[in-house]
Structure formats: structure tokens, C-alpha cells
Structure 1
Amino acid sequence: METLFKVKNWSLRVRIFLAMILITIISSVLILGVSLIHFQIENQEYHKDRLIRKENQIKQHIQYVLEVTPHPLATFNLQSIFRDKIFEIADIHNIEIDIYDLKGHLIITSKAPIIKGQISPNLPEAIIHKIKVSDNNRYVSIAEGELNTYRFSYTYLMDYIENKPIGIIRLPYVEEDNFYKEEIISFLKIFGMVYLGMIVISIWIAYYLSRYITKSLKTISDRLTETSLTEKNEKIDLVTNSYEIDRLIQSYNKMIDELEESANKLAQGEREGAWREMAKQVAHEIKNPLTPMRLTVQSFEMRFNPEDPNAKQKLADYSKTLIQQIDTMSAVASAFSNFASMPAQQNETLNVVDVVDLALDIFNEDYIQFDSESEEIITKIDRTQLIRIITNLVKNAIQAIPEEQEVKKIEVSVKNENGSAVIKVKDNGKGIAEEDFERIFEPKFTTKTSGMGLGLAIIKNIIENYNGTITFDSTLRKGTVFKVSLPIINQ
């Protein structure tokens, strides 16, 4: 299940679609964040400007009081000057006013709200210092209350005649954010509706745009999937007005031309290879009967006795064997001349025991032993092909036994096993190395210094064409047993 959610398993169309939606969401969130920050800055600027306006109005009003007062303009007279006027000024401008002397001692107040840590009888030395060193001798501090935010404006109360400070005015200003909050709520409602519309439009645009982009790619992908080395491939006739995709289509069409050229060269090479293989196989097929023919002639020459009462029968058997091998070579030559396969296989019903016994007659080696558990085991196979199988296996067994080996033994047996005619050829030769087991039936593979390695591959093909099997078991330096199984015909 986890792999379903991995990005690498998503299609390009899904990635483009989700990327566009994600861009819309991210941009909308950024717009919302910037807008909220802008509202907050505007709100702070609004309260800052409002405090400055109130401060200027109050300073003008206080300046007027100082101009008309009969008291001398001095710090010790401030309480007398503003004893009644401070409440009037605070009511008119709807703001509390605190007046301190230059050392920060509270002289008079109009009931300023008590905020813990901010309003105290005396001003801290740090604030007095900041008022003194700040531009225009004005300093503003901000404090967070339980319900609201407070701004405290500190400025000098000036003697307009001598132009020197005689006190410090503090104006506590409450930032009321009800209007700001209402604007935010109104903005969020409008933004939410616009955002919903943007999401719907973005989904629609993303769907059709991703479909448009991937449509051409899907066409190319389908053609690539259908591309075959052995069949005619069609080029893509499509103009997308997209430089990258058009270049991709051009590259695909160029690849099709090169592929067709390579396929033609490959087909020519395969035909030449097939001819070479056929020539090798024909040479092997022609050479294969020559060995039993040679052995037959040698056996005839050594064993023939004109005075033997069975001389005519033996001569007939030897002639029959030679004629069969000659017919085989003739059939191979005819097949090659007609560009066909090896000689056509005939489904003959025959006694395996008799054919195997006949095939072994051409071998002169006295260490070849033949055994059959019954006199008749009937199967359906081409007689010539069966003789070829036996002679090939026995010849391989003879060649597998070293010339210098003292005790040589080849056992050929035929028996009925589970409804199959089983032919075994067992030798006590050098055996087959385990690493060669999987390659023993491959064409051109051989462990001998001579030969082309086609014999076992050919007889395996013959046996399998008759629904039979061939297997082997071998132990290095002890010998090998080849086992051929052919289906039995019940008589």
C-alpha cells in the first residue's frame, strides 16, 4: 500500500495536475499571509497616526492654557495651572493625561488606567533618558494589557517664552481593534469565495493542460510500446507546436528509420547464420552415417566367411545397414538441395528391441553389451532416426572412454518403465564435469577435441518430436548414463 503513495509511482499527467494545484494553493496561502500582514501593518500605522494627531491636539490645547494662565510658567506651578483644566482637556479629547516633573515625579493626572508595570507614581530613569535623547524629545512605549494593547506617549511640556521644558506629558492610548477585526473578517469572507473559485478554475485548467501536455507523450509512448524489431513500424505524423515534444517526435521517427535499417541488417545476418548452421548440420548429418558404414565394412571384412552357412543372411543384413545409411545421406542431400529441413520423419510402428540390436551390429568393440528385459517393446518412431540415436549415443560412449583405460565397458539396455520404452547407454569413461551439465545439449558445445557438437542437440530434437525425453547422469572419472524414453504403443 505504501508504494501507491510514492511520487515515483505517479504518472506524468498526475504529477503535472497536482503540481499546478499545489502552486495555486501555495500562491493563495502566500497572498493570504501577505494580506494579513499588510492589514496588521496598516492597523499599527493607523493607531500610530491617531496617537500623533491626538498628541498634537492636546499639546495645542495645553499650550493655549499656558498662554492664558496668570501663574508663572514653572514646574512647581503646573499643579495649580492644570488643577481644573486637565479634566476638561481629557474629556474634550477623550484621553487620559498625566503630567510629571522633569525628574519623573507625578504632579497631576486625569485618572489614567492602571496597567501593571506601566503606570506608577514615578517615571523610570530609562524613560526619562529616552525622552531626553530621542528625536523631538518624544518617546512611545507599547504594553500589552489583558484585553487591549496600550501605547504610552512621552513628550516635554515646554515653556513657550524661554523655550525650555518644565514638565513631561504622558498620554496613555488604548488601541481598539474592533474595526480592524471587522475588516479582517470581511476580507477573509471575500478571499474565501475568491479562493474557492480559483481552486475550481485551477483544477479545470490543470486537468486540461496536463491532458494536453501528456496527450502527445502518450501517443509517443504507445508507439514505443508497439515498436517491433520484426515488423513494419509506422512513424508519428503529429505537430504539437511544442519545441521539446516536436524534437522528441523527430527523434522517434529517426529511430524508426535506423531500427528498420538495423532490422534489415540483422535479418540478413540471421539468414547468413542460418545458412552456416544448415551447412554445419548437413555436414554432420552426412558424416554421421559414415562411421557406421565404415564399421560395417570393417566388420564384414573381418567376420565374413564364405563357407559359413549363414553367409548369405549376414551379407543381406550388412547390405541392409549400408543401404539405410546411404538412404539417410541421400535424403539429407535432397533436403539441402530443396532448402528444406532434415529428412522428413516417418511414424513407423516398430520393435525397439530389434532396431537397437540391429544398430549395435555395426560396432566391433567387444566390450559393448546389450540387454533387454523382453523380446518386444513397440513404439512409433522413424527407424532411421532411432538408429541414428543409438549410433550417436554409443559412438559418444566409445569416445568417452580413454584409449589407455584397461577395463572398458558399455552397457546398452532396453526395458519397459511406466508405459515408456527406456533405452539406456551406460559407459565407464571419464564422465562429464558438473559445470557442463546445463550446456551438454546446446548446439556447438562439445567436450571432445573434434566434432562440431551438434550430435546430442540433433538427437534431443528428434526424441522430443516423438514426445520423448532424453536425460543423463554422470560422475566425473566414473562414467555417464544417457536415458532415452519413448512412449509405448499398446498392441
Structure 2
Amino acid sequence: MILIVVLASVLIAGVTIYQYKEQAEDYHKEYLQRKEDQLNAQIDYILKNTTWEVKTENLKYILEYKHAIYEASDVLDINFNVYDLDGNLIISSKPRIERGEYNTKLNQNVIQGIASSASRQYVEKTKAAGDRFQSSYSYILDPKFKPIGILHIPYYEDDTFNNNELKEFLLKLAAVYILLLALAVILAYIISKYITRSLKAISDKLHQTRLSKRNQKIYLDDPSEEIGALVDAYNDMIDELERSATLLAKSEREQAWREMAKQVAHEIKNPLTPMRLSVQSFERKFDPTDENAKSKVAEFSKTLIQQIDTMSNIASAFGSFANMPAQQNETLNVIEVVKLSVDIFNEDYIRFITDEKEIIAKLDRTQLIRVITNLVKNAIQAIPEDRDPKIVVNVYSEKDKVKISIADNGVGIAEENQEKIFEPKFTTKTSGMGLGLGMVKNIVETYKGHICLSSVLDKGTVFTVSFPKFRSE
């Protein structure tokens, strides 16, 4: 609407200016033609009533007789010049000081223009100092219609009145269109708000749509046909999204259980194989009469107990991973809990440092200890035997977060493995099930925290855990 109003105002202003110029040009043309016809009629009257022989040589005397031509010029309020057929000035209504020497001889182009014109008239348009001039040239004919001279009428195009009229009209037109533009802006705003109100509701719902939650449908009172179709399409999409989310969740659960079952079966098979071999060997080689029979039974029993302990550890690890941490939030001093977790370890190369005495957060004490002990245990296992071990546990504040970093000088983690390190069954160790870091990540994210790592191969690794600080209401 605004664009239409603006374009209309520009087009109408352009057409108006063009029309005014056309009217001014037609007016000047008709005015000059009318004055020329009147002066020619006066000259014809003088030529018909003179006693002189009508020819070019006598033209000056005939026209100046009793100042008849000058009187006609004054009555018609128009200047003139009369030239002979060769373009030489004969008489002029202007004094010599006004007309100057440039009017004493006609340009040959003008003479040729008159001769070649069917109407025996030639009009020349010129500009000087920003003003426009017209000069009309025509033949003066004797009673037998033979050319005996050239009549020149100079005319200044005075557009002052037209220009003032045009400016006044454009000002009025601008006032009208400014009012229309203001109305268009108001109407465009009201109509656009009315049209986009329903679209805004749909847009808000689309922004709120999530796969992980139940999404609300849109219900509008008396929507337009197009908006109604859009709302119906959105509601159908919500139904389809819920069905897809249900199927996806079911598929993910089934896939998780399949992966877990394969992992459990794999880990249980590992100790079962040496147990089977040990039993078969014992059955084949055991001699009850052997004097070392008692020690061999003890050794066999020890082997079986070790494998059984391994299976028990496997069961405990899977049980710990499957047990989601409960939201047992309590207000605690993170520095004290982390220091207590570090003190569990007997290794003297583990250092605990902090620059603060108290950092309060709402966490579960047991789960926080579980996170720290798992990360420290991983750090201990990452340091090779041929290296002087060093582990630093640091607790510090950063804005509204409490951060815990565990740094070691171990073998590091290859870049291609850093993204997989928190996957439940991924491990770079020769033993173990790879559930520790997956469990840690699970606990941390349950408490709206975040865990990340920075590692350089063969230099060491830093795990950083961050939790929100406690804010008193």
C-alpha cells in the first residue's frame, strides 16, 4: 500500500510536470504564430496601399512610411527585424544599441531553412543564460506572392507564470499525498497486524515445538481459509511428530538394550573361557594320591575365585551404569567434598589445589564423590610405569559456575578418540568395559553440568567438570 501511494505520487508529479511543459510549449508556439500572422497582415496592408513600386530595394521606405510598421509593432507589443533575401538587415524595431551587430546579417542556415520549408517559415529555438528564445523567420510577399524580404520575429519564452502555477500545484499535490501516505502507513499497519496475528501464533508454536516433549496444537477462532489450512497442517504435523517420537524412543530403547546385551555377553564370556580351561585341566591332571594335591586344589580354587570376582565386578559396573543418579540435591561445599574424594587415594603424587575456601552448589554428595574418584582413577591408569606420575586436582570459580579439573601427565588421548571417549562401551584400555566415563557424563548432565577434555598425545589429559553454583533465592 505504501509503495503504491509513493509510486502514484511520483508518476502523477511526473505527468503533471510533463503536461505543464507541453502546454507551455503549445502556448508559446500559438502565441508566436498569432503575433506573426497579425504583423504579416499589417505588412500586407501596407504593401497593397503604397505608391512605391513593391520590390526589395524599396521595402525599407515602404515600411517606414509614416512609421506605420512601428505603430503596428507597438500595438501588437512585439519586436521585429526585416532582412533582404540575402540576409542583410533592412529595418528593425529595436534601436541599434539594443540589437547589436549580430542582427545585421542572417545565418545562411536560416535562409536555407526558409527556402526548403513547405510553409515558407522557419523557427529557430535557442537558449541563453538559462532562458529560452524562439525566432520565427518567414518571407514577405508582394501582391503577386513573390518573396521580396524576410521577416524575423524574436520571442522570449517567459514561463514565470506557468512555473509558479506548477510549483503551487505540486505543493498542493504533495500535501494531499503526504496525508494519503500517512493513512496508508496506518492502514498497512492495522491490516498487517490483523493478517499476521494468526501467523504469529503459528510461528510461536513452531519455535516451541520440540521432539522431546508433548507439543500443544493450535486452535484459532474463525480463521481465514488459508490460515485454517495452515493450522490444520501444523496440527497434523504435531500428531505425526508425536507418533514418530514414540517410535523413535521405542527404537532407541530396543537398540540400547541390544547393545547392552551384546556387551554383557561379551564381558561374561571373557572370564568363562579361562574358567572352563582351568576346570578341564584340573579334571585331566588332578591326582588325589599326589602329595601336592592340597596345594593344587588351593591354586585351582584361587583361579576360579579370581574369575568369579571378575564376573562380579562386571555385574557391579553394569549395575552402576544402569542406576541413574537420583536428584538428591543438598547444599554442600564443593571444595570439601572434592578434597575428601582425593584423600581416599593413597598415591602421594596426587595434589589438590584451590584458591578459595568455600564454593557452594546443590549436588548429591555421593554422586559428586563418584565422579571425582572415577576421573582420578582414570588419570592414575593413564600414566605409564616408566614415567614420574603427576596428577593435579583443582577446584575454582568462573562466573556462575564451579569448575573441577583433573590433569595428568599420562599417555593422552588420540584426537580421533576424543569424541568417542564418553560413549558407554568405548575404551582404549586392554581391560575394563568402558562404562566409567559414560557414567560420569550421565551424572554430570543430570545435575545440569558439563564435562569436557583437553588432551595432547603422550603429554597428558585434562578433564574439566562444571556445575552451576548455588543461588540463594
TM-score normalised by the chain length of structure 2 = 0.63
Matches within 5 A, 1:30-429: 30-83=11-64, 84-111=67-94, 119-146=102-129, 148-160=131-143, 162-237=144-219, 241=224, 243=226, 248-249=230-231, 251-280=233-262, 282-283=264-265, 341=322
Structure 2 letter corresponding to 1:261: R
Following the alignment from structure 1 to structure 2, what is the Cα–Cα distance between the partners of residues 445 and 104?
Answer: 111
Give a deviation string over 1:416-442, Cα, whole Å, max 9, x none: 9999xxxxxx99xxx887345523453
1: CA distance between counterparts of 2:197 and 2:257? 46
Q: Deviations over 1:304-336 (max 9, x none)?
A: 97989xx99x99999998997787788899x89
- Tell me what 1:362 maps to: none
1:434 aligned to 2:414? Answer: yes
CA 1:457–1:94 in structure 2 vs 1: closer, same or farther (change >3 Å)?
A: same
Secondary structure (helix, strand or coil) at the match of 2:85 reads coil
Distance in 2 of aligned mates of 1:463 and 1:103: 111
Answer whether contact 2:79 2:93 (CA < 8 A) is retained: yes
Q: What is the total number of aligned residue pairs between the two structures?
A: 399
Structure-2 separation of matches of 1:204 and 1:473: 61
2:243 corresponds to which letter in structure 1? Answer: E
Distance across 1 between alignment mates of 2:421 and 2:185: 64
Relative distance call for 1:92 and 1:432 in structure 2 (3 A) is closer
Answer whether contact 1:151 1:174 (CA < 8 A) is retained.
yes
Distance 1:174 1:463 in 2: 95
| Paired residue secondary structure (1:156) | strand
Alpha carbons of 1:319 and 1:147: their partners in 2 closer, same or farther (altered >3 Å)? closer
Secondary structure of the residue aligned to 1:230 is coil
Q: Tell me, yes or no, if the aligned pair for 2:138 and 2:150 is still in contact at 8 Å.
A: yes
Q: Structure 1: any 5+ residue segments left out of the alignment?
A: 1-19, 346-351, 357-370, 374-379, 402-408, 420-425, 484-491
* Equivalent-residue separation in structure 2 for 1:215 and 1:103 (angstroms): 84
Match of 1:367 in 2: none
**2:76 and 2:164 mapped to 1: Cα distance?**
25
Distance 1:435 1:217 in 2: 47
Q: How much has 1:103 moved relative to structure 2? A: 1.4
Superimposed CA distance per residue, residues 92-131 of structure 1 (whole angstroms, 9 cap, x where no aligned partner): 1111122221111222222279778995112121111101
Report the residue type matching 1:260 in the other structure.
Answer: E
- The TM-score, its normalising length taken from structure 1, stands at 0.61
Amino acid at match of 1:90: S
> What is the CA-CA distance between 1:295 and the residue it aligns to?
11
Quote the RMSD (CA, aligned, Å).
Answer: 5.8
Give me the identity figure in percent. Answer: 36
Cα shift at 1:200: 1.0
1:231 aligned partner, one-letter code: K
Q: How does 1:446-485 map to 2 (within 5 A)?
A: 446=427, 455-458=433-436, 461=439
Deviation of residue 262 (structure 1)?
2.1
Give 5+ residue unaligned stretches, structure 2. Answer: 327-340, 349-364, 396-408, 464-473
Give the aligned residue type for 2:172. I
